[in-house]
Amino acid sequence: MRRISVRKCSWERFLDSKHGILDPNDAISRMPETVLHRIISFLPNSDKQHVRFLSRKWRRLSAQNQNRLSLTGRRLSELELSKIMSDDFPSVESLTLTKCLGIKNLKLASFKLKTVNLDYCRSLKTLDLNTPFLESFHFHGTCVRPCRIDFGICNKLRILKLAGVALYNMDCNISFPLLQVLSLSSCDMSGCINISSNSLKSLYLLRIKNPGDITIDAPSLHFFEYRGNTVIPFLNMHFPNLDWARIELKPSRYEKRNEEWFNGLINMLKCLKSAERLMIHTNSDKNIIVPKGVRETLVPPFDGNLDIDVKTSSRSSNVVDLSDSMLWISPRVRRLYFKSFNWEFVMQLDHQDLLSGTHDNSCSFCSSYTSRCWRHSVTHYSLGHSMELNYKEMVSYLVENLEKVGRDAMQTGRILFSI
């Protein structure tokens, strides 16, 4: 019976190839591999890539000097991947596996790996990392069959991005003492989640599933972002040095915007009260316009000077209603910017606490904080608009509110400009 040979692809032929017969006059290729590696190390990076065209041996030597390995759509076993990394690519510092099937229990043990990206490797069930010099790890799995990840020794980890995994408590101070960026996307966070890190600078919570009680202690955090279709029940958040917060709320049209919704929204914003800039993206004004009946039982979440940017995809946005809600959420706002489907509006306020007069007990902010709300403290304001109608409505709104507290709106300086 004739043996039918199946031609392998170039990548497989390379892994199975031998040195081949060398040219008798090729003295350089006959040198020890340690010497050849030394020669390659002196070449510019662009020339190192061209060495592989000389012969099979030089191609293998070139692979051994590569620090990046990326495999896409391959079917591999654990032993095959281990052999590739140890024999063919021993100098790899960055490993990327995308849609690679066949690997069920993967153990990565390397003192050279600094970056690992695993995307949509659906057959993976367990992952053990023994990579003491790993600095960046990205994993995108499936929530249907979540992978168990054992980080082992990863004390150098600075960037951790997880998607489609089930999470429990994360004490980053012990496991990842140098962690600076943490991104959790489409993760199952049911139950009580406790995230603690003294080194964390940026935190992303994106489309998390089954949010339970979440406690986050990150005293060095400067940036926080949340994206979701509901308000998550933050039990406690400690962000004393937060500079910038970004909130994206896009619930379905059937979501109830009742008192429970706005209580959760205000409690979430209270955890971000140390931020100097707040960005809110939403698909409907109803998600962020706090009803006046709810305001009577709550205290504004922000008491300091704040810049607020609001972007809404609603076609029927009302600049007065949005401004009134944002000025209640942050009565000391410095800059308020709105971008809707067909218009833009910006308002800047200069504040100065006036010595004359007493606090207005009818104002929930003035009766709760030592500083005064915008009605009592604004000295100048400027309005920028892309629609004349928005400008006239806002001027009427500001004049009416200033006159309510006995202030002459004409004496409050104003600057008008068009966007």
226: nearest Cα among 193, 250, 201: 250
Tokens standing for residue 11: 């990548």
pLDDT score recorded for residue 49: 60
Can you give the pTM of this predicted structure? 0.82
Last residue of some domain: 65, 88, 104? 65
Q: Binning pLDDT at 50, 70 and 90, where does residue 204 land?
A: very high
CA-atom Rg of the chain in angstroms: 30
Give the CATH number of the domain where residue 15 resides: 1.20.1280
Tokens standing for residue 148: 């168990």
Q: Binning pLDDT at 50, 70 and 90, where does residue 379 land?
A: confident
Contacts 24+ apart (CB under 8 A), 226-233: 226/268, 229/255, 230/255, 231/261, 231/264, 231/265, 231/268, 232/205, 232/208, 232/264, 232/268, 233/264, 233/267
Residue-averaged pLDDT of the chain: 81
Whether residue 144 is contained in a domain is answered as no
Whether residue 256 is contained in a domain is answered as yes
pLDDT score recorded for residue 166: 76
Encode pLDDT of 295-308 as tens digits. Answer: 888 889 998 889 99
Whether residue 2 is contained in a domain is answered as no
Whether residue 107 is contained in a domain is answered as no
Whether residue 124 is contained in a domain is answered as no
Whether residue 349 is contained in a domain is answered as yes
Q: Total structural domains in the chain?
A: 2
Last residue of some domain: 21, 40, 65? 65
> In the block, which residue shows the tokens 């709810």?
294
Last residue of some domain: 33, 65, 97? 65
In percent, how much of the chain has pLDDT > 70?
A: 77
pLDDT score recorded for residue 41: 66
Query: Strand order in 234-238's β-sheet?
Result: 170-171, 192-196, 213-217, 234-238
Q: How far apart are CA 216 and CA 203, in angstroms?
A: 10
Stretch among 137-146, 157-166, 266-275, 321-330 having the lowest mean pLDDT: 137-146
Range of the domain at 326: 243-419
Q: How far apart are CA 166 and CA 334, in angstroms?
A: 40
Whether residue 100 is contained in a domain is answered as no
Read off the pLDDT of each residue in 212-229 and give the average, rounded to a whole number.
90
Whether residue 263 is contained in a domain is answered as yes
pLDDT score recorded for residue 390: 77
Q: CA torsion sign, 339 to 344 to 350 to 354?
A: negative
